[in-house]
Amino acid sequence: MSPASLPQTPSKSVPLASSATAYSRLRDLWAFLHTWLRSPARVGAIAPSSAALARLMTSEVCAAPGRVLELGPGTGVFTRALLERGVAEENLILVEAAPEFAALLERRFPAAQVLRADARQLPRRLARVDSGVSAVVSGLPLRNLSRRHRLAVLLGAFGHLSADGAFYQFTYGARFPLPRSWTDRHGFKVQRLGRVYGNLPPATVYRVTRRAASRWIGA
């Protein structure tokens, strides 16, 4: 049978949007691996956060007036979820210490304010930011920090949160990264929002607010 007589199968072109998405994911993975190889403790994960974890982390953040502070955005998985929730890009403050991630965030989210800083320096680096921050979304590996530094991050974040604002943190551990005695002492209420088993590894999400009359809810 000659080539001309062979059945012809229609060629399938790959949509440009799909190609761009795949390329973006590859770039994210490369940036993640490159940063992880240089400083695994700073990254604190073995894989980028999943879309399911991003949805749970941002599920209570709305597009109401007020800025959103993100700590340790990495490649921007939670950032994209915040934008999908309707948060305006110009209302995002992204605090990232890793140079590779910070450069990627500046290219990907040009309207956002990207601070190349350690989150433990929040009080000093955000001195000029008003207190109109409605939510803090943290991708920091708090368990890799000393308890003193974990508390410094939390206190620094609440120094810029509005009175009814909330701090969202995920962890791979069984409990919130700070003991209940510490959060009680500083007037915080910690609530478990849920666990994402499809993440690698599985992760639990917590909401932290200023303590009211209700009791602390643990893991």
Q: Which CATH number does the domain housing residue 55 bear?
A: 3.40.50.150
Each residue's pLDDT tens digit, 159-212: 989 999 999 999 998 899 999 999 999 999 999 999 999 998 999 999 999 987
Rounded to whole angstroms, the Cα distance separating 95 from 70 reads: 6
Mean pLDDT of 131-154: 91
Query: Angle at which helices 99-108 and 16-38 pack, to 10 degrees?
Result: 160
**Quick check: is 33 in a domain?**
yes
Sheet with strand 161-171: strands edge to edge:
113-116, 92-96, 67-71, 133-138, 161-171, 203-210, 188-196
**Quick check: is 176 in a domain?**
yes
State the pTM of this model: 0.78
Which pLDDT score, from 0 to 100, does residue 65 have? 74
Q: What is the DSSP letter of 13?
A: P
Average pLDDT, the chain: 82
**Quick check: is 25 in a domain?**
yes
Lowest model confidence (mean pLDDT) among 104-108, 127-131, 133-137, 188-192: 127-131
pLDDT band at 132 (very low <50, low <70, confident <90, very high): confident
pLDDT band at 39 (very low <50, low <70, confident <90, very high): low
Which pLDDT score, from 0 to 100, does residue 93 have? 95
Range of the domain at 142: 16-210
Residue with the larger pLDDT of the pair 22 and 158: 158
**Quick check: is 101 in a domain?**
yes
pLDDT band at 135 (very low <50, low <70, confident <90, very high): very high
**Beta strands 133-138 and 161-171, pairing class:** parallel
Q: Are 204 and 197 in contact (CB under 8 A)?
A: no
Q: What percent of the chain has pLDDT over 90?
A: 60
**Quick check: is 154 in a domain?**
yes
- Would you give the end-to-end CA distance of the chain in angstroms? 69
Instruction: Kindly give the residue spans of alpha helices, DSSP state H, lying in 6-140.
Output: 16-38, 40-43, 51-57, 77-84, 99-108, 122-125
**Quick check: is 215 in a domain?**
no
Number of domains in the chain: 1
Which pLDDT score, from 0 to 100, does residue 175 have? 94
**Quick check: is 107 in a domain?**
yes
Rounded to whole angstroms, the Cα distance separating 70 from 60 reads: 14
pLDDT band at 25 (very low <50, low <70, confident <90, very high): low
Q: Are 207 and 60 in contact (CB under 8 A)?
A: yes
